[in-house]
A and B are shown apart, each in its own frame.
Chain A
Amino acid sequence: MSTDSRWEINKELAQMLKGGVIMDVTTPEQAKIAEAAGACAVMALERIPADIRAAGGVSRMSDPKMIKGIQQAVSIPVMAKCRIGHFAEAQVLEAIEIDYIDESEVLSPADDVYHIDKTQFQVPFVCGAKDLGEALRRISEGASMIRTKGEPGTGDVVQAVRHMRKMNSEMAKLTSMREDELFQAAKELMAPYELVKYVYENGKLPVVNFAAGGVATPADAALMMQLGAEGVFVGSGIFKSGNPAKRANAIVKAVTNYTDAKMIAELSEDLGEAMVGINEQEIELLMAERGK
């Protein structure tokens, strides 16, 4: 299949995930809990971001055996992370037929200049972005889904909010420009003109855009959806909390009915301990600054 039609069909898988919650899991048991709670996909990784943060050191792609165990445990799509720029890790993930690769700042970057040329792959990629320019650069490299970077493993939603608002306002600004101003806009965004023109004409990214990084409660998820996210990744927020199954369940329903405050109030009752979290000012490592 040609690169273009492969990109189309990969982008379409992301469309099928919309309105859903993608959950980080580290074991087949957690994957089953996530699936039963209504996750539309799971992200298989050895350590969730909060633990990666705590452990420090270099973090890498997960053991393929562990990923395969999760693939066998559930029927929903399984995603996995590779390091930024580490195309050999991505090749390994493609070889085990992963459904989506997350070229992720949560892991230690393998390349401080180049991202992976994702057009060389048959499997789809999702990438993080803090702003519109970053999102369009990743799409031009072949990403078929975008998520905010947020600040993973913190339980603090502030950065995901910032990134989503920034993207929205940059898109709104583009749509209000004169067409002859787009060339300069592309230069400033450091993004290809064709993609800038797409956003100018359509008022949105050419691929699905999820929220990620710091989502910990049903209300956090509803906030991101109301700000325009098309779905939500929840990493540490679920399995670092007191009652993972119940919290996962509640976040799934909050994403479906994100404007129904009464329902979200009910969903937020008795969820037990949320993950402890780290405030933005206390963070020593800003993962969102990895990869530009």
Chain B
Amino acid sequence: MRIGVLALQGAFIEHEQILKELGAECAELRKSSDLDKEVDGIVLPGGESTVQRKLLEELGMLETIKKKIQQGLPVLATCAGLILLAESVSGQREARKTALIEPRSLRGQACFATLPVTVRRNAYGRQLGSFSSSANIRGLREEERPFPLEFIRAPYIESVCGGEEVEPIAVIEKLPDGSRGKNIVGVRYQNQIGLAFHPELVGDTRCHEMFLSMCHA
């Protein structure tokens, strides 16, 4: 089985290492001609979504990948990748004292827009707001064993617009500021898995196993 890994910017090598460990072959996608390769699934890694989005557009890769996802190619998207998949991206936290402002060119614009959710970028603020947690993730092998979650300048899923077909598979209830709440940090919708955290960094392969089982089907 061969998995295409978007390798424009970010932590793509970490994904490749896990996929190889699980017996898959990886193809790095860096330019439009790389998209001619036959792949059984695609990984959209973490990194800076503004950079990845821009390169996808300017290197002529956006439309081809979008079409493949729409045609049912399984996709695993983490952090920045989730932002690229989301149908809409909401502004930054209004309540912060050092408010972040979405650059005008990117405001409200989605990239692939194949996942019917609204994602909030930099939802926990700057790097000081980055944190670790854990949660049970629906659909994983040994589901009852919590999965380690790393949130790095992370987004979360603010709202789901696709009805019941969009299944929240990971939710955190204890928020980094100590309060209780409910942040959706992982969803599954048809052939797409979108995660706000980084399964490629924690040495637990179960999220990738779930993804590869979708690629088999």
Contact = CB atoms under 8 A, between A and B. Distances in A.
B127 A99 contact: yes
Interface stretch (B46-54, B65-73, B135-143, B208-216): B46-54
A91 interface: no
A36 B167 CA distance: 34
Contacts of B116: none
Given A16-B79, A75-B100, A256 B9 contact: yes
Contacts of B50: 35, 38, 75-76
Interface in A224-239: none
Interface stretch (B19-27, B36-44, B101-109, B188-196): B101-109
B165 to A, nearest CB: 30
A257 B48 contact: no
A32 B126 contact: no
Contact of B10 (A8, A16, A263): A16
B80 interface: yes
Interface in B42-92: 46-48, 50-51, 54-55, 58-59, 79-80, 92
Nearest to B121: A75
Interface of B: 7-14, 30-31, 46-48, 50-51, 54-55, 58-59, 79-80, 92, 98-103, 105-106, 121-122, 125-128, 130-132, 150, 152-153, 198, 201
A260 interface: yes
A104 B8 CA distance: 28
B101 A19 contact: no
Nearest to B176: A1
Nearest to A249: B58
A12 B152 contact: yes
Contacts of B13: 18
Contact of A38 (B7, B51, B198): B51
A72 B98 contact: yes
Contacts of B103: 32, 35-36, 74-75
Given A9-B130, A100-B127, A122-B128, A16 B58 contact: no
A73 B101 contact: yes
B98 A20 contact: no
Given A9-B132, A12-B198, A253-B55, A99 B153 contact: yes
A18 B10 contact: yes
Given A9-B131, A12-B152, A15-B14, 20 more contacts: A12-B150, A12-B201, A16-B11, A19-B8, A32-B103, A35-B103, A36-B103, A68-B98, A71-B100, A72-B99, A75-B102, A75-B103, A76-B48, A77-B153, A97-B128, A99-B153, A252-B55, A257-B30, A257-B31, A260-B31
Given A5-B132, A71-B98, A16 B80 contact: yes
Top 7 closest A-B pairs, CB basis?
A99-B127, A19-B9, A40-B48, A15-B11, A97-B126, A20-B9, A38-B51
Interface residues of A, number: 44
Q: Name B's interface SS.
A: loop
Nearest to A79: B127
B122 A256 contact: no
Contacts of B198: 12
B127 A123 contact: yes
Interface of A: 1, 5, 8-10, 12-13, 15-20, 32, 35-36, 38-41, 68, 71-77, 94, 96-100, 122-124, 252-253, 255-257, 260, 263
A40 to B, nearest CB: 4
A75 B99 CA distance: 10
Given A17-B48, A75-B122, A99-B127, A263 B31 contact: yes
A39 to B, nearest CB: 7
Given A75-B100, A76-B48, A13 B130 contact: yes
Contacts of B14: 15
A254 to B, nearest CB: 12
Contacts of A8: 132, 150
14 contacts: A13-B127, A13-B152, A15-B46, A16-B152, A16-B153, A19-B10, A72-B101, A75-B103, A77-B127, A97-B125, A97-B128, A256-B59, A260-B30, A263-B31
